[in-house]
C-alpha cells in the first residue's frame, strides 16, 4: 500500500471480521475472563498490573478495528481522509499486535508457568475447552479459511 497498491475492500472487511471473531471474541475473551481471573487471585493482586496492560492492549486493538471498519467505505471510494485513517489504524494495530504477542510470549506465558499449579492449569484448559465448544465445530476451520482467503488476496496482488 505504500507503493500506491490498493487492496480490495473485501480484504479489509474480512480482516475486520477475523479480528472481531477470532482474535477478540475467541482469543481475547478467554484471556480476559478466564486466565486473567485466575491470575487475579494470585499474590494478592500483585499480577493485576501485567494483566491490565494486556487488557488495555485488547481495548486499543478494538478501537483500531472500529476505526478501520468505519473507514472502509470511504477507502473503497478512493477518498483521502478515510484512506489515511484506515492506513494509520492498520499500522497502529499491527504494531500493537507485535508488542502484544511479544508480551504474551515473554511475560504472560512464563508468568502463568510460574504462578499456576498443574491442577489450576488443567482447570484452565478445561474452561478454555468449554469456551471453545460455544463456537461450534466449524469455527476454527472457518477462520483458517478466512486467513487463507486474505493470503490469496495478497498473493493476487503479488504482495
Query: What average pLDDT does the segment 79-91 reach?
Result: 96
Question: What is the residue extent of each domain of the chain?
Answer: 9-156
3-state secondary structure the chain: CCCCCCCCHHHHHHHHHHHHHHHHHHHHHHHHHHHHHHHHCCHHHCCHHHHHHHHHHHHHHHHHHHHHHHHHHHHHCCCHHHHHHHHHHHHHHHHHHHHHHHHHHHHHHHHHHHHCCHHHHHHHHHHHHHHHHCCCCCHHHHHHHHHHHHHHHHHHCCC
The CA distance from 30 to 51, in Å, is 13
Query: Residues 30, 54: contact at Cβ < 8 Å?
Result: no
pTM: 0.90
Average pLDDT of the chain is: 92
Q: Identify the pLDDT of residue 25.
A: 92
Indicate if the pLDDT at residue 2 is higher than 70.
no
How does residue 159 score in pLDDT terms, banded at 50, 70 and 90?
Answer: low
Return d(Cα 30, Cα 32) in angstroms, integer: 6
Q: What is the pLDDT of residue 122?
A: 96
Give 141's pLDDT tier (boundaries 50, 70, 90). very high
Q: What is the pLDDT of residues 118-138, one digit of tens each?
A: 999 999 999 999 999 999 999
**pLDDT for 100 beyond 90:** yes
Amino acid at each position: 500500500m505504500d507503493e500506491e497498491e490498493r487492496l480490495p475492500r473485501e480484504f479489509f472487511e474480512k480482516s475486520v471480521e477475523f479480528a472481531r471473531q477470532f482474535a477478540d471474541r475467541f482469543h481475547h475473551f478467554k484471556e480476559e475472563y478466564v486466565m486473567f481471573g485466575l491470575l487475579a487471585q494470585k499474590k494478592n493482586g500483585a499480577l493485576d498490573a501485567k494483566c491490565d496492560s494486556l487488557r488495555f492492549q485488547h481495548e486499543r486493538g478494538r478501537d483500531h478495528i472500529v476505526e478501520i471498519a468505519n473507514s472502509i467505505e470511504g477507502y473503497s471510494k478512493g477518498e483521502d481522509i478515510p484512506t489515511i485513517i484506515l492506513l494509520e489504524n492498520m499500522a497502529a494495530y499491527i504494531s500493537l499486535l507485535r508488542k502484544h504477542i511479544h508480551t504474551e510470549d515473554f511475560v504472560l506465558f512464563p508468568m502463568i508457568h510460574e504462578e499456576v499449579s498443574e491442577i489450576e492449569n488443567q482447570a484452565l484448559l478445561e474452561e478454555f475447552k468449554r469456551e471453545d465448544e460455544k463456537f461450534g465445530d466449524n469455527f476454527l476451520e472457518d477462520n483458517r479459511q478466512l486467513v487463507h482467503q486474505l493470503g490469496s488476496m495478497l498473493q493476487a496482488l503479488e504482495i
